[in-house]
């Protein structure tokens, strides 16, 4: 069982996934800081010092804190847009790195060879007709 686990854990896909999770967590922290430390204060300045997290209906324990929900939705859109831009940027670099491979068609066969190929195909067709009858 240990050998099976070791071979599973050392496969390239599992290691790639582990690296992606760590990088994703770090990227999430960066985007969270971008939202909470830069974008939301700017929105607060524009909207007159409104803090979305403090918006609520009701009072005390029965308060519906819709501001937290709005903040989460805004965070989601900013994070998804940031990820979109990173993916778009990396795909642009990958396109530049790809090497264009030109498909070279083989030269046409000599006339004698083309004639022999045609005769072979005709003979095969005749054999098939004979076997069908």
Q: What are 6-54's pLDDT values in tens digits? A: 777 677 677 777 788 888 888 888 877 887 788 778 877 887 766 777 7
Candidates 78, 65, 64; CA nearest to 36 is: 78
Whether the predicted pLDDT of 119 surpasses 90: yes
Q: Are 78 and 35 in contact (CB under 8 A)?
A: yes
Opening angle at CA 44, ends 40 and 50, nearest 5: 115
Q: Other C-beta atoms within 10 Å of 71: how many? A: 19
Structure-block tokens of residue 10: 């050392």
How many Å is the Cα radius of gyration of the chain? Answer: 32
Q: Please tell me the pTM assigned to this model.
A: 0.46
In this prediction, residues 56-79 reach a mean pLDDT of: 82
Contact 35, 74 (CB under 8 A): yes
């Amino acid at each position: 069982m240990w050998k099976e686990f070791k071979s599973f854990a050392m496969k390239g896909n599992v290691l790639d996934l582990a690296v992606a999770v760590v990088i994703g967590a770090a990227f999430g922290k960066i985007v969270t800081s971008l939202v909470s430390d830069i974008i939301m204060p700017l929105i607060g300045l524009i909207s007159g010092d409104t803090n979305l997290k403090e918006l609520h209906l009701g009072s005390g324990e029965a308060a519906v804190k819709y501001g937290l929900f709005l903040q989460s939705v805004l965070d989601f859109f900013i994070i998804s847009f940031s990820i979109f831009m990173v993916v778009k940027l990396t795909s642009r670099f990958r396109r530049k790195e790809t090497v264009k491979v030109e498909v070279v068609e083989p030269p046409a066969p000599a006339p004698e060879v083309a004639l022999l190929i045609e005769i072979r195909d005709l003979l095969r067709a005749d054999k098939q007709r004979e076997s069908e009858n």
